[in-house]
Structure 1
Amino acid sequence: MPHNTSTSLWRPGNLLAAFGVLLMKGSARLPLSWSRGIGKFIGSVVAIIFPYRRHVALTNLRLCLPELTEKERKDLLFRHYQSMGIGLFELAAAWYKPVEKLEEWSTVTGLEHLEAVAESGRGALLLTAHFTTLEISGRLLLNKRPFSCLYRRPDQPVIAKAMTEARKSRMNRVIHWNETNDLIRALRDGEFIWYAPDQGKRMKYSAILPFFGVPAVTNTATGRLARLGKAAIVPFLGYRDAKGHYHVEIYPELKDIPSEDPDADAVKINQLIESFIRKAPDQYFWLHRRFKKRGAGFEDVYAKSGRGK
């Protein structure tokens, strides 16, 4: 069904969403240290009183990090809720705070890898994953190197409008996830595209492949897109350290992707994302049902059970 695109405040939910956007703009005026503290507090309250998708997140952690004890996983999940709370303020800062205020708290390394690709005349898929710091790390990288983004439009029209405006005001262009021809054209034009393929979605180019050793629906289109767009694949990771400092680390081009085996390419990308997650496990988006819709023969790991309560 088509999304409702009306931003009229008289429509249900729009007034509340508009108020939320105003709060975001207001929170962007706060010092980052304050907003992190408030976000951490909000995340702690949610974890204790209304732990949204707690069962999903714990299931993911049991599957992906079996080496941890149950207490260690629950402690990690609590820190993840705190990171989600902080992430709300980081998103507001990414959209509405002057970038010079963000740069005081950040370090970007590996820009030479982007320069090497740019000098070759090619575009690039800037490969990352869904961390709570995704928006703020993208904003910090954007200040060093212009790029476009691939995104999925939120269902809420007011939020979608705010997101699109914030990104269009700074990026070369915003490309919806199913506008493949526009994506390939941008890559062939030498553009860099912010790209996060780690959330499993059944589509034409997907397969059941290991993620932390567990079968999961996996995007196998990354290598194909790079080939069609004659583009490089350059990974980057953005995370927040214990002192609240943001690090954006850009890695060398993945020169062995694409290969003749898209599934093998996707496994390598999964392994790369796994290494990113281990670096900042509390900041990865564990609330996503990463192991859903795997098809016949696979257990529904999110079915409620006694241990998931």
Structure 2
Amino acid sequence: PHIGNWELYNAFYAQTVGQLTALFKPPKQKAMARIIERVRMRYGNQMVPTTPRGLARLFKVLKQGGTVAVLPDQVPEVGLFVPFFGQAAFTDRLAHRLALKSGATPVLVALIRNARGRFDVHYQRVPDLGQEDEVMALTALNAAVEALVRQYPTQYQWEYKRFKKQPTGLQDPYQGLREI
């Protein structure tokens, strides 16, 4: 999720465990996309685009016993509304589909800065994410992310507009707010 330093975790994982294949939505600026990809891939990790071909690659990597990474709190094009901090949050179905179809054990990971200025790795299994019922699975996912955020609220990217998409009839809660 958008908590802690996931960019540093990419390097940590590659150097201590092995290759990580991560979903990557390139920014609109092509030069910036190349820089980000180069930094993320320099330790041997693979980046796949948010395209049907890229998604197929994630499933293939899991089927071959590899490790994939997605940020489950991205606001998707297609998803379901399930609770997050007591509010309806439009939630991506990808993590559920990956867990369900691959049988892999889903794990939330966060690299959290500690009081000494160093980082601690936090792993939290989310076994209910692999269950058949999609609403229950995504609710379990959001509950796990929420628990992590409650534990380390200062390290969550609150500026990320998690509630921008709202159920029909409800207004965008960010509308009218000024950027700081």
TM-score, length of structure 2 as denominator length = 0.88
| Partner SS state of residue 77, structure 2 | coil
> 2:57: which partner in 1?
182
Matched AA of 1:224:
R
Q: Are 2:99 and 1:226 equivalent residues in the alignment?
A: yes
233, 237, 241: which one pairs with 2:114?
A: 241
Q: CA deviation at 1:305?
A: 6.5
Paired with 2:101 and 2:177, the residues of 1 have a C-alpha distance of: 45
Q: Distance in 1 between matches of 2:159 and 2:126?
A: 28
1:202 aligns with 77
* 1:297 and 2:169 are equivalent in the alignment: yes
- Which structure shows the bigger proportion of residues in helix conformation? 1
**How many Å separate the matches in 2 of 1:297 and 1:254?**
32
Aligned match for 1:264, one of 127, 136, 151: 136
The CA deviation at 1:163 is: 1.6
Tell me how far apart the structure 2 counterparts of residues 298 and 269 of structure 1 sit (CA, whole Å): 23
Q: Percent identity?
A: 26
**Which runs of structure 2 are paired with 1:80-91 in the superposition (5 Å)?**
none
Letter in 1 for 2:168: A
Greater C-alpha radius of gyration: 1
Q: Is the deviation greater in 150-159 or in 225-234?
A: 225-234
| Whole-angstrom distance in 2 between the partners of 1:239 and 1:289 | 21
1:1-309 equivalences in 2 (<5 Å):
129-146=1-18, 147-178=20-51, 179-203=54-78, 206-251=79-124, 253-304=125-176
Specify every segment of 5 or more residues in structure 2 that has no aligned partner in the other structure, as ranges.
none
SS in 2 for 1:215: strand
**Aligned in 2, Cα 1:174/1:285: closer, same or farther, shift over 3 Å?**
same
Other structure's SS at 1:150 match: strand
Per-residue CA distance 1:179-230 (angstroms, 9 max, x = gap):
2111111110111012211122231xx1111110101111123121122233
CA contact (8 A) 1:197 1:219 kept: yes
1:290 and 1:222, CA in 2 relative to 1: closer, same or farther beyond 3 A?
Answer: same
Note the C-alpha offset of 1:162.
Answer: 1.4
TM-score by length of 1: 0.53
**What is the deviation of 1:142?**
2.5
On the 8 A contact 1:202/1:217 being kept in 2, the answer is no
Structure 1 gap segments, 5+ residues each = 1-128
Contact kept? 2:81, 2:167, Cα under 8 Å: no
Question: Partners of 1:249 and 1:226 in 2: how far apart?
Answer: 20
